[in-house]
């Protein structure tokens, strides 16, 4: 029996489906609560020059994503050994800090330097508690190993900001993260990392549960509460699964799985450096802004970017997988995603 087939059969598929379903249901049901809470605390995004909304929209809805994720993980703790380890505790502590700062930012609009410092602190917590990028099969690993902790912190901080930067159109960050997390889930299934599979399945479920009220026209935004949390979970999950199993291909697969936020962030940094502007200065040069400025509607631009993300994710999976069953699993999840997006698109 092929090794990939043995790996697939060894997984607890019911556990993964439960993780997805619980997160989806909780996020779906708690989104109105998160919206009401945002209004109560005046966490509202008012129309502005570089924004896309023409009416005030509550912006702390990402709390529903967090609640969906946390409820699913806590309910499944007795069934997943990896949820009772020091690395997961470190991940959880970092998540709580990221969410707390995100909520404060949605209400008070904190300064970028403070948020950046907190993100570095969170990355250090993850590393100290035992999660880091591991290139042990790389030919030059003995030279890279002393810098693995620094590389991990940079990766976590980078992805947190990457997802935050693409959160500029209704439903964009939630949809792209859903695609990326499903891709990472499949890669982690093949690598055998059960904890990473549970976390990515949970993240996909919570994002898709939030998406109905976030897709255009959005009733609520996720705000920094949601976008920074999504980037953080994607970063740590890739460290737990992808980077530990695919040797020199790992960086290629991880970048392909999350290509849109990573590439958009890199282009933004280059653009601002060329124009002699601060790296963290906001502008309207992001890909989603360019599509809207080119004449596409909010929905059209988002669907185009979903398509790009899906294509890059499929490429990553096809590179890593040489088994028909796993390929069919990917196809099934993407069909479900497309059907859900079609339903959301028709929502009035």
pTM for this one?
A: 0.84
Q: Of residues 133 and 231, which shows the higher confidence score?
A: 231
Residues 6+ apart with CB under 8 A from 312: 256, 257, 259, 260
Which of 291, 71, 82, 55 lies closest to 169, judged by CA?
291
Q: How many helices (H) and strands (E) does the chain have?
A: 15, 2
Q: Is the dihedral of CA 309, 314, 319, 321 positive or negative?
A: positive
- Is the confidence at residue 5, as pLDDT, over 90? no
Mean pLDDT of the chain: 81
Radius of gyration (Cα) for the chain, nearest Å?
19
* pLDDT band at 4; cut points 50, 70, 90: very low
What's the Cα-to-Cα distance from 306 to each of 38, 260, 286, rounded to whole Å?
27, 9, 15
Question: CA dist 155 to 132, 149, 216, 243, Å?
Answer: 10, 10, 30, 12
| Count of Cβ atoms closer than 10 Å to residue 157 Cβ | 20
1 pLDDT tier (thresholds 50, 70, 90): very low
Query: What is the rounded distance in angstroms from the CA atom of residue 49 to the CA atom of residue 284?
Result: 9
Read off the pLDDT of residues 265-307 as tens digits, 9 standing for 90 and up.
777 777 777 776 766 666 666 676 677 766 677 788 888 788 8
Residue 209 near residue 28, CB atoms below 8 Å? yes
pLDDT at position 222 is 93
Higher pLDDT, 267 or 96: 96
From CA 65, how far away is CA 69, in angstroms rounded? 6
Contacts (Cβ under 8 Å, ≥6 apart) of 322: 4
**What CA dihedral angle connects 271, 276, 278 and 282, to 10 degrees?**
-50
């Amino acid at each position: 029996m092929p090794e990939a087939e043995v790996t697939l059969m060894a997984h607890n598929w019911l556990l993964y489906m439960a993780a997805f379903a619980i997160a989806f249901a909780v996020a779906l049901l708690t989104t109105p609560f998160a919206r009401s809470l945002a209004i109560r605390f005046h966490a509202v995004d008012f129309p502005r020059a570089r924004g896309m909304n023409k009416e005030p929209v509550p912006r702390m809805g990402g709390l529903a994503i967090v609640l969906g994720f946390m409820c699913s993980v806590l309910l499944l703790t007795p069934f997943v050994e990896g949820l009772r380890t020091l690395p997961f505790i470190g991940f959880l502590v970092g998540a709580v800090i990221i969410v707390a700062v995100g909520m404060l930012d949605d209400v008070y609009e904190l300064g970028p330097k403070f948020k950046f410092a907190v993100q570095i602190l969170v990355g250090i917590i993850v590393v100290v508690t035992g999660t880091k990028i591991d290139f042990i099969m790389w030919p030059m690993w003995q030279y890279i190993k002393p810098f693995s902790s620094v590389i991990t912190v940079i990766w976590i901080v980078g992805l947190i900001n990457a997802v935050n930067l693409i959160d500029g159109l209704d439903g964009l960050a939630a949809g792209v993260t859903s695609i990326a997390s499903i891709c990472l889930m499949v890669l982690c299934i093949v690598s055998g990392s059960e904890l990473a599979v549970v976390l990515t399945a949970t993240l996909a479920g919570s994002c898709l549960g939030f998406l109905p009220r976030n897709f255009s026209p959005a009733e609520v935004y996720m705000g920094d509460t949601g976008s920074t949390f999504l980037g953080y979970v994607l970063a740590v999950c890739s460290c737990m699964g992808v980077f530990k199993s695919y040797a020199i291909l790992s960086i290629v697969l991880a970048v392909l799985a999350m290509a849109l936020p990573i590439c958009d962030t890199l282009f933004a940094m280059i653009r601002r450096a060329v124009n002699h502007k601060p790296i963290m200065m906001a502008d309207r040069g992001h890909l989603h802004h360019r599509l809207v400025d080119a004449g596409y509607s909010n929905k059209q631009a988002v669907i185009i970017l979903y398509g790009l993300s899906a294509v890059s994710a499929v490429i990553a999976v096809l590179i890593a997988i040489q088994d028909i069953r796993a390929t069919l699993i990917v196809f099934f999840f993407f069909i479900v995603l497309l059907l859900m997006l079609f339903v959301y698109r028709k929502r009035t």
